[in-house]
């Protein structure tokens, strides 16, 4: 039996050998935290996944280049908020590389051992004077106690920091996985709009780490959507420093570690959805009996990003016709006369709205009561006889979302 110890107060520094710091470099308004460093006392293996957007920020380009040359000797991550360093041309690339050099000089390592992340407004050059001074000052305060405030420093429109850790017993001994993430808007696969740094004191080879991360992301961060947009800066990093001396190499260890990592990533992903810009509802959409998991995911995702569906969520309007409309335009073939639709709060099968493509004799007030809840579930059974299934987590689309994004740069 696999047993995990989940620590809601855990952070990116919960695994042994990691420290962090947060600092106000005045990239945001004065005295607001806007710079974070996460540092390992020893070299780390590293795996990463990045945005699928064709327009990518300078940090994404530089990190891809860095990891192509070095995925086994990483030491630190530098993260700034308020400025995305995206669509900034050659000066932006130079600034990202200069950030690596500055941090390496302060931390006593090489530039190719530093990864850089940025989040914020697109099309504005980084204020390198402020950033350099901030890195130099911040590095003096590195501590294992700073995991939570590091998660605060990377926030943009987030209303609360997102962090977690999980301890799992492996055949070779216990290891810990910690993580922090930010994201509240421009959230959609791939990979949702987000930055995330995950750490572990397990000893894991880069190729194994890469497979573990991809599996976890595809079951978590690629299953959420707030507004259907994908950022220029999306990045998730997984650093393994091996300080515990417990190796993840044999099949049993890999399987157990993978299950723990998947659980941690799912929890962080759901934190992002619950903190979605202007969100008042957290909705789980499950599609079953599709011909493949990919088909099920495509339908669930299409429902999750439909403005008409999301505004119905916002208005607590159980307008299930919009759910079927969105499913029908997902580009997946199915027989509408066989579909079944349920909704519920504790479980999706509490109230059936559609049976074999036909409305049931449900009470409208009962359906509206479900849609009025802050969290509820939807189950769409395609009735195809296939084994394909998928779950996506999404939000409503409220007036507040429009207000936030209408004023984003001011």
Q: Indicate the SS3 state at residue 372.
A: coil
Mean pLDDT, consecutive 10-residue stretches, the chain (410 aa), reads 81 98 92 96 97 90 98 98 93 98 98 96 94 97 98 89 96 96 59 78 98 94 67 89 97 96 94 81 96 95 92 93 96 96 89 97 96 96 93 85 60
Q: What's the CA gap between 364 and 151, in Å, rounded?
A: 43
Instruction: Note whether 288 and 168 are same-domain residues.
Output: no
Say what the pLDDT of residue 157 is: 77
Instruction: Note whether 142 and 52 are same-domain residues.
Output: yes
Q: Are the C-beta atoms of residues 341 and 324 closer than 8 Å to each other?
A: yes
Instruction: Note whether 268 and 286 are same-domain residues.
Output: no
Domain count for the chain: 2
Say what the pLDDT of residue 109 is: 98
Question: Which one of 233, 248, 274 terminates a domain?
Answer: 274
Instruction: Note whether 172 and 302 are same-domain residues.
Output: no
- Beta-sheet pairing, 114-118 with 74-80: parallel
Question: Which one of 251, 274, 297 terminates a domain?
Answer: 274
Question: Which one of 250, 274, 298 terminates a domain?
Answer: 274
Instruction: Note whether 354 and 381 are same-domain residues.
Output: yes
Instruction: Note whether 270 and 288 are same-domain residues.
Output: no
Say what the pLDDT of residue 256 is: 95
Domain of residue 27, residue span: 4-274
Instruction: Note whether 329 and 368 are same-domain residues.
Output: yes
Q: Are the C-beta atoms of residues 243 and 16 closer than 8 Å to each other?
A: yes
* Tokens of residue 389, six digits: 């299934």
Residue 198: CA atoms inside 13 Å, Cβ hemisphere, count?
A: 33
Instruction: Note whether 203 and 321 are same-domain residues.
Output: no
Whose CA is closest to 165, among 50, 18, 21? 18
Instruction: Note whether 256 and 300 are same-domain residues.
Output: no
The backbone region for 158, taken as left when phi is positive above 0, alpha when psi lies in -120 to 50, beta otherwise, is: beta
Instruction: Note whether 46 and 99 are same-domain residues.
Output: yes
Q: Indicate the SS3 state at residue 133.
A: helix
Q: What's the CA gap between 362 and 351, in Å, rounded?
A: 8
Instruction: Note whether 20 and 128 are same-domain residues.
Output: yes
Say what the pLDDT of residue 248 is: 97
DSSP secondary structure string for all residues of 237-250:
EEEE--TT--B--S
Instruction: Note whether 256 and 293 are same-domain residues.
Output: no
Tell me the whole-structure pTM to 2 decimals.
Answer: 0.88
Say what the pLDDT of residue 404 is: 59
Residue numbers annotated as active site: 193
SS3 string, 44-78, reads: EEEEEEECCCCCCCHHHHHHHHHHHHCCCCEEEEE
- The enclosing domain of 350 has a CATH number of 3.10.20.340
Cβ count within 10 A of residue 307 = 12
* Tokens of residue 309, six digits: 């569906």
DSSP secondary structure string for all residues of 289-335:
EESSHHHHHHHHHHHHH-HHHHHHHHTT---HHHHHHHHHTSS----
The backbone region for 366, taken as left when phi is positive above 0, alpha when psi lies in -120 to 50, beta otherwise, is: alpha
- The enclosing domain of 155 has a CATH number of 3.60.70.12
């Amino acid at each position: 039996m696999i047993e995990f110890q989940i620590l809601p107060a855990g952070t990116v520094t919960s695994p042994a050998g990691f420290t962090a710091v947060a600092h106000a470099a005045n990239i945001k308004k004065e005295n607001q935290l806007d710079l974070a460093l996460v540092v390992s006392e020893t070299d780390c293996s590293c795996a990463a996944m990045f945005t699928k957007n064709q327009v990518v920020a300078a940090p994404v380009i530089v990190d891809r280049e860095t990891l192509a040359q070095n995925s086994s000797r990483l030491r630190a991550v530098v993260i700034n908020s308020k400025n995305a360093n995206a669509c900034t041309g050659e000066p932006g690339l130079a600034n990202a590389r200069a950030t690596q050099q500055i941090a390496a000089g302060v931390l006593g390592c090489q530039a190719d051992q530093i990864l850089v992340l940025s989040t914020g407004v697109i099309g504005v050059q980084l204020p390198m004077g402020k950033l350099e001074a901030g890195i130099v000052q911040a590095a003096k305060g590195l501590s294992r106690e700073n995991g939570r405030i590091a998660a605060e420093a990377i926030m943009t429109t987030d209303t609360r920091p997102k962090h977690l850790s999980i301890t799992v017993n492996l055949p070779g001994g216990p290891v810990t996985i910690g993580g922090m993430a930010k994201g509240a808007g421009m959230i959609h696969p791939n990979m949702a709009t987000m930055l995330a740094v995950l750490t572990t004191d397990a000893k894991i080879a880069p190729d194994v780490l890469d497979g573990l991360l991809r599996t976890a992301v595809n079951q978590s961060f690629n299953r959420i959507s707030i507004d259907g947009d994908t950022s220029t800066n999306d990045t998730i990093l997984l650093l393994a420093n091996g300080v515990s001396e417990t190796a993840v190499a044999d099949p049993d260890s890999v399987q157990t570690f993978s299950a723990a990592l998947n659980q941690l990533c799912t929890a962080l992903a759901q934190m992002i959805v619950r903190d979605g810009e202007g969100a008042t509802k957290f909705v789980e959409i499950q599609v079953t009996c599709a011909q493949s998991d990919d088909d099920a995911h495509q339908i669930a995702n299409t429902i999750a990003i439909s403005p008409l569906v999301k505004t119905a969520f916002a208005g607590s309007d159980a307008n299930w016709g919009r759910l079927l409309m969105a499913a029908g335009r997902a580009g997946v073939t199915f027989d509408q006369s066989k579909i079944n639709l349920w909704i519920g709060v504790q479980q999706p099968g509490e109230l059936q709205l559609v049976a074999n493509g036909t409305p049931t004799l449900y009470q409208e007030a009962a359906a509206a009561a479900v849609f009025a809840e802050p969290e509820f579930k939807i189950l769409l059974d395609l009735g195809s006889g296939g084994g394909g299934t998928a779950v996506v987590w999404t939000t409503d689309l409220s007036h507040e979302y429009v207000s936030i994004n209408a004023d984003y740069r001011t």
